[in-house]
Amino acid sequence: MGELTWGAFFLGFLNFKTEKYVIAENRKLGISFRVFQICVLAYVIGWVLIYKKGYQSREETVQSSVITKLKGVVMTNNTESGPHLWGAEDYVIPPSGEQVFFIVTNYIETPNQRLGFCAESSKVTDGQCVNHEDCAEGDAVVAGHGVKTGVCLNSTGTCEIHGWCPVETGRKPLVALLSKAENFTIYIKNFIRFPKFEFSKSNILDTGNDSYLKRCSYDNVLHPYCPIFRLGDLVSRTGHNFQDMAVVGGSVGILIEWICDLDKDYSQCNPAYSFTRLDINLNSSVTSGYNFRYARYYKDETGNSYRTLYKVYGIRFDIMVNGRAGKFNIIPTVIAIGSGFAIMGMGKFACDMIFVYMLSTSSFYRDRKFEILKKERIKRHKESLKTVVNRDTRKHRKHAAEKEKLTTLSMKNEEKPERTDQDLEKQDLKSGKQKDVHIISPRTVGQRLSN
The pLDDT confidence band at residue 324, using thresholds 50, 70 and 90, is: very high
Give residue 325's pLDDT: 96
pLDDT greater at residue 394 or residue 320: 320
Cα 314–chain centre separation: 37
CA distance 101 to 316: 6
How many other CB atoms are found less than 10 A from the CB of residue 62? 19
How many other CB atoms are found less than 10 A from the CB of residue 379? 10
Q: pTM score > 0.75 for this model? A: no
**pLDDT tens-digit series, residues 112-129:** 999 999 999 999 999 999
Domains of the chain, start order? 20-55+329-379 (1.10.287.940), 63-120+167-327 (2.60.490.10)
CA distance 202 to 67: 11
CA distance 270 to 206: 13
pLDDT greater at residue 380 or residue 449: 380
Asked if residue 195 has a cis previous peptide bond (ω within 30° of 0), the answer is no
Give a three-class secondary structure readout of the chain: CHHHHHHHHHHHHCCCCCCCCCCCCCHHHHHHHHHHHHHHHHHHHHHHHHHCCCCEEEECCCEEEEEEEEECCEEEEECCCEEEEECHHHHEECCCCCCEEEEEEEEEEEEEEEEEEEECCCCCHHHECCCHHHCCCCCECCCCCEEEEEEEECCCCEEEEEEEECCCCCCCCCCCCCHHHHHCEEEEEEEEEECCCCEEEECCCCCCCCCHHHHCCCECCCECCCCEEEHHHHHHCCCCCHHHHHHHCEEEEEEEEEEEECCCCHHHCCEEEEEEECCCCCCCCCCCCCEEEEEEEEECCCCCEEEEEEEEEEEEEEEEEEEEEEEECHHHHHHHHHHHHHHHHHHHHHHHHHHHHHCCCHHHHHHHHCCCCCHHHHHHHHHHHHHHHHHHHHHHHHHHHHHHHHHHHHHHHHHCCCCCHHHHHHHHHHHCCCCCCCCCCHHHHHHHHHC
Give residue 29's pLDDT: 79
Least reliable range by pLDDT among 15-29, 40-54, 57-71: 15-29
Query: Does residue 202 have a pLDDT over 70?
Result: yes
**pLDDT tens-digit series, residues 396-414:** 777 777 777 676 666 655 5
Give residue 98's pLDDT: 84
Mean pLDDT, range 431-447, rounded to an integer: 52
CA distance 401 to 109: 126
Give residue 447's pLDDT: 58
Q: What is the mean pLDDT of the chain?
A: 83
Query: Does residue 392 have a pLDDT over 90?
Result: no
Mean pLDDT, range 319-332, rounded to an integer: 95
Mean pLDDT, range 205-232, rounded to an integer: 90
Contact between residue 191 and residue 236 where contact means Cβ atoms under 8 Å apart: no
**pLDDT tens-digit series, residues 53-96:** 999 999 998 999 999 999 999 999 877 778 889 999 999 998 88
The pLDDT confidence band at residue 365, using thresholds 50, 70 and 90, is: confident
Q: Which of 9-13, 105-109, 351-355 reaches the highest mean pLDDT? A: 105-109
Query: Does residue 379 have a pLDDT over 60?
Result: yes
pLDDT greater at residue 32 or residue 331: 331
Give residue 426's pLDDT: 53
Contact between residue 295 and residue 309 where contact means Cβ atoms under 8 Å apart: yes
Give residue 1's pLDDT: 44
Query: Does residue 318 have a pLDDT over 60?
Result: yes
Contact between residue 186 and residue 68 where contact means Cβ atoms under 8 Å apart: yes
- Nearby residues of 343 by Cβ (< 8 Å), 6 or more positions away: 40, 43, 44
Give residue 374's pLDDT: 64
Give residue 73's pLDDT: 94
Looking at the DSSP assignment, which residues form a beta bridge with residue 160? 119
Give residue 437's pLDDT: 47
For 120, 148, 219, 375, 449, the CA distances from 140, given in Å and listed in that order, are: 11, 6, 54, 98, 173
